[in-house]
Amino acid sequence: MESWRTLLAAAVLLGPLLLVLRRRSGNNNNPRGRRLPPGPPAVPLFGNLLWLRHSSVDVEPLLKRLFNRYGPVVTLRVGTRLNVFVADRRLAHAALVGAGTALADRPRPVANSLLGVSANIITSTSYGPMWRLLRRNLVSETLHPSRVLQFAPARAWVRRVLMEKLREAGAAPCDVVEAFQYTMFCLLVLMCFGERLDEPAVRAIADAERAWLLHISAKLGVFFFLPSITRHLFRGRLQAARALRRRQMELLVPLIDARREYKRQGTAAERRPETTLQHSYVDTLLDIALPEEGHRRLSDDEIVTLCSEFLNGGTDTTSTGLQWIMAELVKNPTVQEKLYSDIRYTCGAGDGEVSEDDIHNMPYLKAVVLEGLRKHPPGHFLLPHNAAEDTDVGGYLIPKGATVNFMVAEMGRDGNQWTEPMEFLPERFLEGGDGVGVDMTGTREIRMMPFGAGRRICPGLAIATLHLEYFVANMVREFKWEEVPGLKVEFAEKQEFTTVMKKPLRPRLVPRNALLAEQRHA
């Protein structure tokens, strides 16, 4: 409440200045009188502060009302910043694919500069040489199919950890969300640093990363509003962020140093194949030389930031996807049993691992995962894009400097494109269905884009899909997932770092081997 009073006082003191800035920015944002996308009248100063006060949880219902009133693309002005929101798949394709590099940039991360933290990460670095170098390194050195295959032992180990966590609940309702988050973070830590850590170490890193994400998402948004002034009004938030950053460095730099020493020793290094991977993401970061900066190596600060991006980018999206898909399988037992039959047909009876070779021969499994991503994309918005130049999209002007946002969930649930879009129907992705041949990259057209499209498409699309298929198949082979009386599965949504279930999934897990034993003795 105190911070709100401070902002209100700032509004009174700075009102005249901001009105002048708004008029100037309005003139510059609409050259030659070309038409901006429609939207409500420019938000007055007090409204700007209200917008800043609310979180992204409030934005989606507001936007749905605006789309109903103005159409599938709307403009909102927040302070001096112009925001464009796109819900139409054709306009999204024109902007993300057709416009080329014009909308491939990102808004400048104000908080990083205030904190003195590297902003050189793939998700937010400006489109240019640094971004291309970092992305190419990730895609070719860690996410290339040959490298992904090398991580198979890591996935197999995490599968065993996950099954142990799920078995711990016994006959009681199982807190599967916590198990998903922990084990997916284990997997990303192992892929990132090449070393299997014990549970306390993994949880310490996970807690530090979550605290950092929570703080920057909930507390640092205010610095987009006149950062030269708000940095003084809210210096306590910056101090807290710096403390959280120091904790990140304390936890991650020793792991980076250990891998640096492992690489230095080369063939002389002690080999522990059961706990150490031959390749890790950190290895590739230690090898990078920046040609635009005299071929210098990345600093520890930059490597920690990139590792943090790697860990967080792959954990919440995958664990959220698993929660939604398994919730649908609990709610739709016929679909679950059809999937189990597909697994048994391919792998036989029993409770052993469903291998990565096996899942390539399971079309229904792939359909289940695609339907989960269509109906429940982990993120309802893409990360914001920034217009590097004036751009025409569908006859509308997107002026240079505008922030452009794309509504992922709206497109995947469009009743004009999908039959019964709010029903969970994996069959739509099988022969004869309306989703056959859907282009997940959005290159040809956009019908669903849980991983984005265009130059900024998520580089982890293939490995994220593999992880979902692999862990869903193994969980269904190991357990029958049942709804618990009094713990009804509900699909109400809540916005956290991703869009999660408002009421977390708590099913009963019945071991399949026990069911098979009962059938044999019946």
Q: Which residues are annotated as a binding site?
A: 458
Helix ranges (DSSP H) in 266-385 = 281-287, 300-331, 333-347, 356-359, 363-375
Residue partners of 84: CB distance under 8 A and separation at least 6: 37, 73, 74, 75, 76, 398, 402, 403, 404, 405
Q: In this structure, what DSSP letter does residue 426 have?
A: G
CB 195, CB 255: distance < 8 Å: yes
What is the rounded distance in angstroms from the CA atom of residue 426 to the CA atom of residue 423? Answer: 9
Residue listed under structure tokens 């999206």: 317
Where residue 170 falls (left for φ over 0; alpha for ψ -120 to 50; beta otherwise) is: left
What residues form the annotated binding site for heme? 458
CB 404, CB 386: distance < 8 Å: yes
Q: What is the largest CA-CA distance in the chain?
A: 83
Q: Which of 124, 165, 159, 511 is nearest to 313 (CA)?
A: 124
Structure tokens at 298: 């990345």
Residue listed under structure tokens 């190596």: 297
Q: At CA 178, angle to CA 309 and CA 317, rounded to 5? A: 35
Q: What is the DSSP string of 253-279?
A: HHHHHHHHHHHHHGGGSPP-TTTB-S-
For the chain, the distance separating the N- and C-terminal CA atoms, rounded to the nearest angstrom, is 65
Residue partners of 474: CB distance under 8 A and separation at least 6: 159, 162, 163, 353, 354
Q: What is the DSSP string of 445-480?
A: --S--TT--GGG--TTHHHHHHHHHHHHHHHHHHEE
CB 36, CB 30: distance < 8 Å: yes
Structure tokens at 294: 């005299």
Q: What is the DSSP string of 314-332?
A: HHHHHHHHHHHHHHHHHH-
What is the rounded distance in angstroms from the CA atom of residue 345 to the CA atom of residue 214? Answer: 44
AA letter at 130: M
